[in-house]
Structure 1
Amino acid sequence: MNLDPKPYSAACDRNKDPILEVLKQHLAAARSVLEIGSGTGQHAVHFAKQLPHLLWQCSDRAENLPGISAWLNEACLPNTPPPMQLDVTGTWPVTRFDAVYSANTLHIMSWQEVETFFGALPGVVQHDATLTIYGPFRYAGRHTSASNAAFDASLRQDVPHRGIRDFEAVDELAKAAGFALLADHAMPANNRCLVWKLDAKSPTN
């Protein structure tokens, strides 16, 4: 029986170290990260501890902030400010960040929300920002595994607007926001870690 009052995700424990290796590679020169959809807060604590050069700004919808705060308060790290309330369809912060990170969020959002997410990015990033997205994706309209296909079907059955997104469609949204694909890392459990870099020729808003 888990008596810990903090929210907990077993998936976060499983994927945190593989994701960390990608972040170490691509965020070595960054100084601040905006995490979209921080969920339980587990990733933030793990990454901020291992990457002390980064200010790690958590964000999520209001109902998730207490759980995130519980993780941050327990860890008491100097580079994790209080989480901010952020719904991708609402008001975004005016602060600009060197990087944006989000894990397992695009398949939970509606496609319209995914479009809004990418459309808002130019307003919150610095001119050389890095964008990192972790999660499952389809390629050329096909799932990469039978388990992903089953997961996609369960998502759509529960909430029809949800579902695993097509890499090509997401990449087009990133391009429209001024980002060029830098890397596509294969991850455990048939997930991917996609990394884009803001094109220096594309001015931010």
Structure 2
Amino acid sequence: MTADKPFSPACERNREPILAVLREHFADTRHVLEIGSGTGQHAVHFAAAMPWLSWQCSDRAEHLPGIRAWLDEAALPNTPSPLELDVDAGPWPRAGGGRRFDGVFSANTLHIMGWPSVQRFFAGIDEVLSPGGALAVYGPFNYGGHFSSDSNREFDGWLRARDPASGIRDFEAVNTLARDVGLALQADVAMPANNRCLVWCRRLAAV
């Protein structure tokens, strides 16, 4: 890790399993918004592997210089300049020409946010995801109110000690937020290190 180019070992470890899911569910996608791009490593890897789509990074202002460093070094034609986005404050971006995005991706964000921010996350998805578009979210989740592993229980304790508002989210509660904005669950894929990759599709408007 350098001052201008941050590095996440976790991104290096999980990028291939996530890519396998995205290759399937973003096969017909052309414009993806990544929420919480972090270091920018995922963006570079996924955009290089899926050249048919435009990968729009976004994050809070303090993370944008590091993301730009990764994007500038890779010099890919399908990674426009990263945008500032705080889910609590907006504004939520649009793709080129004012279009909605037909894909949204976010990794390791929902357990960092407080629950009101998770609610605003899905309210924002309602604004930017087009009918028929897909939302993919990677990270740890509880099921039926239970941790899926001892390591996730320990991780949740660490999160809450650092910030009491954070913590591993219940799948059922998150899925309810998704359903409320017209998203239907398409896939729930087990990933390494007791994580999941959840994919929802936005229902097409009735004719």
Same fold (TM over 0.5): yes
Report the secondary structure of 2:156's partner residue.
helix
Aligned residue-pair number = 202
Give the aligned partner of residue 108 of structure 1: 112
Give the aligned partner of residue 172 of structure 2: 168
The correspondence of residues 41-120 of structure 1 with structure 2, limited to 5 A, is 41-90=40-89, 91-95=91-95, 96-120=100-124
Give the aligned partner of residue 37 of structure 2: 38
How far 1:3 sits from its partner (Å)? 5.3
- For residues 202 and 88 of structure 1, what CA distance do their matches in structure 2 show? 29
Q: CA RMSD in A?
A: 1.3
Give the aligned partner of residue 157 of structure 2: 153
Question: What does the per-residue CA deviation read over 1:51-74, in whole Å, with 9 as the maximum and x for residues that have no partner?
Answer: 000100000000000000000000
Among candidates 137, 141, 154, match of residue 137 of structure 1: 141
- For residues 94 and 132 of structure 1, what CA distance do their matches in structure 2 show? 18
Contact 2:4 2:65 in 1 (8 A): no
Question: What does the per-residue CA deviation read over 1:95-132, in whole Å, with 9 as the maximum and x for residues that have no partner?
Answer: 41010000000000000000001012121111111000
Distance 1:3 1:83, change over 3 A: closer
TM-score under structure 1 normalisation?
0.96
Report the secondary structure of 2:18's partner residue.
helix
Among candidates 183, 190, 195, match of residue 187 of structure 2: 183
Give the aligned partner of residue 201 of structure 2: 197
Unaligned stretches of 5+ residues in structure 2? none
Distance 1:75 1:156, change over 3 A: same
Structure 1 segments (4+ residues) deviating >6 Å: none
